[in-house]
Chains A and B, each alone.
Chain A
Amino acid sequence: MDELIYTLKQQIIEALNLEDMKPEDIDDNASLFGEGLGLDSIDALELIVMMEKNYGIKLKDPTQGKEIFKSVAVMADFIAKNRTK
């Protein structure tokens, strides 16, 4: 799981152009939106594409993203359970 969390942080930084951030800077349990990383609605859509591209997970309902993108830890857990690649 720790390895997946680390890889996921790298992928988030790359997909969202978080230029000044390193995986170490992102707290596993901190909120990705609002306060925490401060991501917005376009970032959420980009994360949906990233999950499909890297893990073969297709979100049917984009509002599902709200739950899944709570934190990197929650996201990693969802990916571990649902990945097809």
Chain B
Amino acid sequence: MIVCVAHNIISPLGVTSAENYAAVESGRSALKRYDGLWGLPEPFVASLLDRDVYTDDRYTIDERIVIDSISRALKETTIDVTSSKVLFIISTTKGNVFLLDKRETGFPQERVRLGMMAREITKHFGNPNEPIVVSNACISGVCAQIEAMRYLESGDYDYVIVCGVDVQSAFIVSGFQSFKALSPEDCKPFDANRQGLNLGDAAATIIYTRKNKVDDYEWVAYRGAIRNDANHISGPSRTGEGSYRALKVALGGLNSDELAFINAHGTATSYNDEMESIAIERAGLASVPVNSLKGYYGHTMGAAGVLETIISMQAVDDHNILGTRGFDTLGVTHPIDVSNQNRATEKRAFIKLLSGFGGCNAALLMTKGGQR
């Protein structure tokens, strides 16, 4: 089985997984309103890291937080990262895209290539393998974990280090603004008055290995699936086709009674949340509690799948179904179980669900302990 051996989150809410979970558990959010930042004519609400803290001559902010996040996760382990049996998988949508701005200087243009950025990371750690970069829009973080499971299952590697990252810039924010997809205030996932999403900065790391015997406290990446809507490159399917199919495969033979919750994408755009409610109901999961973490972190893009998996693992460890910050009244047509309050659970499994541009969807079933 594929087991999580260590993890870390670097976000405006903290620099360890524990700090991040404690903040979310107590209802703290990093969302703030920014007016005139980066010369953008329209204000926006986002969860941003302090640029000054992560400024460096050698590494861009994306590279810096990836290195910090992986280093902190590795500290909990005895892994020799210089071994060819260790593979690095980076999950990102836009990486160093800010370097395309002609006003940016100080870093070579080639670092805008995601593979070059990833090589800076493996070079830092002295790892000899070519790093793999998963760039599958907003589902990248779950795809990277599914890739890790497959590489470990094939027996070619002993450890896979998955790190998801994205850092916001004028490029990304103006793009989402042109899509009229950003909320003018803190986002309200699944709510009747939701007005769009917020964006966020983060890096998040999970290290996986393969084990035959799993201890009771250990987390298993049990089964994942990626499916396409085959419908539209920017709008989700009205029948939730891809998410429904991904959910069905990830769930497999598991009884839905065993799920503590579904940690949905829940971006708080009108179409996404509606689509997820349809997919969840179609998959026969309408009775399973659903939550979204976007009200705490915004949409952290390439980091989201990794970050939200880590927060969800800690929530189950804490017997907690985290409340959906920003939610008040259900505003999707299919009855799903969302709450803005933390709720108790004794269950030991959850599904992480994501969807993204290009019509892609991904679901990952995470289970705790070995008996299944």
Residues on A close to B: CB < 8 A? Answer: 40-42, 45, 49, 62
Interface of B is mostly: loop
CA distance A41 to B269 in the complex (A): 14
A46's nearest neighbour on chain B, judged by CB, is B178
Which residues of chain B are within 8 angstroms of A40 by Cβ–Cβ distance?
232, 235
Which residues of chain B are within 8 angstroms of A42 by Cβ–Cβ distance?
233-234
Residues on B close to A: CB < 8 A? Answer: 178-180, 232-235
Which residues of chain A are within 8 angstroms of B232 by Cβ–Cβ distance?
40-41
| 5 nearest A-B residue pairs (beta carbon) | A62-B180, A41-B235, A42-B234, A45-B179, A45-B180
B340 → chain A closest CB, angstroms:
27
A63's nearest neighbour on chain B, judged by CB, is B180
Which residues of chain A are within 8 angstroms of B178 by Cβ–Cβ distance?
45, 49
Which residues of chain A are within 8 angstroms of B234 by Cβ–Cβ distance?
41-42
Interface of A is mostly: helix
CA distance A62 to B233 in the complex (A): 20
CA distance A16 to B233 in the complex (A): 16
CA distance A42 to B233 in the complex (A): 9
CA distance A31 to B232 in the complex (A): 21
A65 → chain B closest CB, angstroms:
10
Which residues of chain A are within 8 angstroms of B180 by Cβ–Cβ distance?
45, 62
A41's nearest neighbour on chain B, judged by CB, is B235
A49's nearest neighbour on chain B, judged by CB, is B178
Which residues of chain B are within 8 angstroms of A45 by Cβ–Cβ distance?
178-180
Which residues of chain B are within 8 angstroms of A49 by Cβ–Cβ distance?
178
CA distance A38 to B291 in the complex (A): 37
Q: List 12 A-B contacts (CB under 8 A).
A: A40-B232, A40-B235, A41-B232, A41-B234, A41-B235, A42-B233, A42-B234, A45-B178, A45-B179, A45-B180, A49-B178, A62-B180
A60 → chain B closest CB, angstroms:
11
A10 → chain B closest CB, angstroms:
22
B179's nearest neighbour on chain A, judged by CB, is A45
A79 → chain B closest CB, angstroms:
20
CA distance A59 to B234 in the complex (A): 21
Which residues of chain B are within 8 angstroms of A62 by Cβ–Cβ distance?
180
B232's nearest neighbour on chain A, judged by CB, is A40
Which residues of chain B are within 8 angstroms of A41 by Cβ–Cβ distance?
232, 234-235
A40's nearest neighbour on chain B, judged by CB, is B232
B356 → chain A closest CB, angstroms:
15
B182 → chain A closest CB, angstroms:
12
A59's nearest neighbour on chain B, judged by CB, is B180
B347 → chain A closest CB, angstroms:
39
The residue in A42, A49, A62 that gathers the most chain B C-beta atoms within 10 A of its C-beta is A42
